[in-house]
Chain A
Amino acid sequence: MEYTGLIQTILGGVGVGSVYALLGLAFALVFGKLKICSYMHGDLAILAAYLGYFIFTSIGLDPFLSLIVLIPIFFFIGYYIQVIFMKPFMSMEIWQGRYQAQIMVTWGLGMCIMAIEFIIWSGTYRMISVPYRNATLNFSNLTVPVVHLLSLGALLLIYLVLSLVLQKTDLGISFRACSVDRITAMLTGINYQKICAISFGISSAIAVVAGTFYALTHQITPAVGLELTFKGWVAVIIGGMGSLGGVILAGLLVGLVESLTSFFWIPALKEAVLFVGLLLLLIFRPGGLFKAK
């Protein structure tokens, strides 16, 4: 039936969109507040997906259980990437080419990650075939994949936890202080570099969750990393450059646009439609759809 097909498509789009939204959230966290530009989170996500795949195929551990190990590991990876590779660029001003430098370093790292994945797992499409991969919940004649519901749930959970941490904890307060003024924050005794490193770690950990859900809904190949990075950034741009709530809505919108294009038109054009939309947005609302207040 056409009608249920449409609703099914919308639900699927929201499900895929939650992966983009998660990545967008990871970018927005470090970009919107601390002005750190990263182009490697897509590759981190795919790396996590591959590790999940590896753990699942070798010892049969469920990807969600391996998250318990992967999240802290990736937090530290992110932490030390910031400490080792990004620190020299943190004192640059924007007009000195700060973003360009950050983009290039992270992109170079992302390329290395992708190359390593190629070397270990080759370019063949892989899939984590967990038993609940195709499980669905039925509401009258609608079937909703469980994984999509879970990813949407994870997205909301992470958003709530992040907002709570930013609002209530000491870490959140120092984080917001750093986002307002780096120098003043340092003068008040906040360890700016440490805050940046922790945030980068947190955003890497979010990327892990995104990667796991991506692996559960798609087949993975190393080259997808860069694509995911760009989709995450599209979510950030549409979402108004760094408001966390806006990014989530924008990420879901991105997924929706893709699945609706596939449904009504040619699936091969789904990305083209998305980016045409982005170009139109740049003409009419360069500030993004959901502008941060």
Chain B
Amino acid sequence: MNLKKWVVSGVIAFILYMLFLRLTDAGFIANFIAYISLFVIAGQGWNLLGGYIGEISFGHAVFFGIGAYTVGLPVGYKLDINLLLLVLLGALMAGIFALIISYPLLRVQGFPFLVGTYGLGVVIRSIVVVTPALFATRGIFISTYSKNFTYPLIIGFAIAVVIFVQWLVNQDLGLRFKAVRDVPTAARMIGINIYKTKASAFVIGAMLTGLAGGLFALYGGFVNPSACFGDNTSIFILLGPYIGGIGSVLGALFGSTIVIILQEVARSVITVNGGHYLMVGALLVVVMMLSKEGIYPGIVKLVKKIKNAYQKRQGE
């Protein structure tokens, strides 16, 4: 199976990153790669639901935020708990919350689902903002590990998550996701419980996104409502897989990287207010017009076409 290939390239990538980290002494680029990896993790989580089930969620920041706040709150209340344990607990909390909220949300499909998830984001953010017990808008500072530990941790998790998702979508459960997306009626006819299947994609995806949130708290050493629960977080999480190619692991990886790089370019090169939105928006429109499935599947198709044309010519 080609899973071996994935594991091998993952290990190689990890070793390369460690070397790079040593050489540059945890400089800007190493930092930036870690930041991208956070959104790669979150994007893979989104992609399980958005790509493999086909329901676009506009509120994955909720799970991201739950992960981050599970790390942040005990620190804010001066409880002495292992931070790594809290990161894993955050993922679990995000999963549990997703399980509860899936009951109303998964009763509808398509754009009501989208609006519902957006609404969920608004609700949770508003609650955090007005609740002093959750530190309202002040946020929480976390005295975290050193960069030389946090960055490899994030990269390691990102690689593990990518391999995990790649493995999952080829398991029976992953096949069930695709079956529900392709033809719900036929999926029911072979005994698939649609609600349960969707909910499992939702919950697993939320756990991954929650994991990204927890790691984000370690990465930045700071959590606050706008960074964790903000609309922008939701948008970055969902745009990556969508631009890169929904329903494909590599595409999501690719897309999240592009979106975050663009964000950085907009912030440091073109300093116009709103420049980021212009670039991402235009990119989204162009990608959708050229290839309805995103950059990566589009490129794969193009390569196949060229190959076929070439073979035809060879034949003549």
Asked if A104 contacts B122 (CB within 8 A), the reply is no
Could you tell me how many residues of chain B have their Cβ less than 8 Å away from some Cβ of chain A? 44
Question: When chains A and B are docked, how far (Å) is the Cα of A159 from the Cα of B165?
Answer: 49
Asked if B285 contacts A119 (CB within 8 A), the reply is no
* Nearest B residue (CB) for A117: B274
Asked if B56 contacts A119 (CB within 8 A), the reply is no
Question: Which of B73-81, B106-114, B196-204 forms contacts with chain A?
Answer: B106-114
With beta carbons under 8 angstroms apart, the residue of B127, B129, B272, B281 that contacts A112 is: B281
Asked if B284 contacts A108 (CB within 8 A), the reply is yes
Within 8 A of B (CB), among A89-135: 89, 92, 94-95, 97, 99-101, 103-105, 107-112, 114-119, 122-123
Asked if B111 contacts A233 (CB within 8 A), the reply is yes
Asked if A100 contacts B105 (CB within 8 A), the reply is no
Shortest CB–CB separation between residue A231 and chain B, in angstroms? 9
* A119-B275 contact, Cβ under 8 Å, with A88-B289, A286-B108: yes
Asked if B111 contacts A111 (CB within 8 A), the reply is no
* Nearest A residue (CB) for B127: A272
Residues of A within 8 A of B288 (CB): 101, 104-105, 108
Asked if A118 contacts B277 (CB within 8 A), the reply is yes
Shortest CB–CB separation between residue A262 and chain B, in angstroms? 13
Within 8 A of A (CB), among B30-63: 54, 56
* A118-B274 contact, Cβ under 8 Å, with A109-B285, A272-B127: yes
* Count, A-B residue pairs, CB within 8 A: 133
Residues of A within 8 A of B115 (CB): 230, 233-234, 237, 278
Q: Looking at chain B's contact residues, is the secondary structure mostly helix, strand, loop, or mixed? A: helix
* Nearest A residue (CB) for B272: A119
With beta carbons under 8 angstroms apart, the residue of A85, A117, A122, A271 that contacts B289 is: A85
Residues of B within 8 A of A88 (CB): 289, 292
Residues of A within 8 A of B54 (CB): 97, 100
Size bin of chain A's contact surface: 35 or more
Question: When chains A and B are docked, how far (Å) is the Cα of A111 from the Cα of B279?
Answer: 9
Question: When chains A and B are docked, how far (Å) is the Cα of A88 from the Cα of B107?
Answer: 30
Residues of A within 8 A of B242 (CB): 104
Asked if B285 contacts A108 (CB within 8 A), the reply is yes
Question: When chains A and B are docked, how far (Å) is the Cα of A111 from the Cα of B288?
Answer: 14
Residues of A within 8 A of B173 (CB): none
Within 8 A of A (CB), among B98-137: 101, 103-105, 107-108, 110-112, 114-116, 118-120, 122-123, 126-127, 129-130
B29 at the interface (CB under 8 A from A): no
Shortest CB–CB separation between residue A235 and chain B, in angstroms? 10
Residues of A within 8 A of B289 (CB): 85, 88, 105
Asked if A115 contacts B108 (CB within 8 A), the reply is no
A19 at the interface (CB under 8 A from B): no
Between-chain CB contacts (< 8 Å), 22 pairs? A103-B56, A105-B288, A107-B281, A108-B285, A108-B288, A109-B281, A109-B285, A110-B281, A111-B278, A114-B274, A118-B277, A119-B274, A222-B274, A233-B111, A233-B115, A234-B115, A269-B130, A274-B119, A276-B119, A279-B119, A280-B104, A283-B107
Residues of A within 8 A of B (CB): 31, 37, 85, 88-89, 92, 94-95, 97, 99-101, 103-105, 107-112, 114-119, 122-123, 222, 226, 230, 233-234, 237, 266, 268-269, 271-272, 274-276, 278-280, 282-283, 286
Beyond A97-B54, A109-B281, A286-B112, list 8 extra A-B contacts (CB 8 Å).
A89-B292, A99-B110, A100-B54, A104-B288, A112-B281, A119-B274, A278-B115, A279-B120
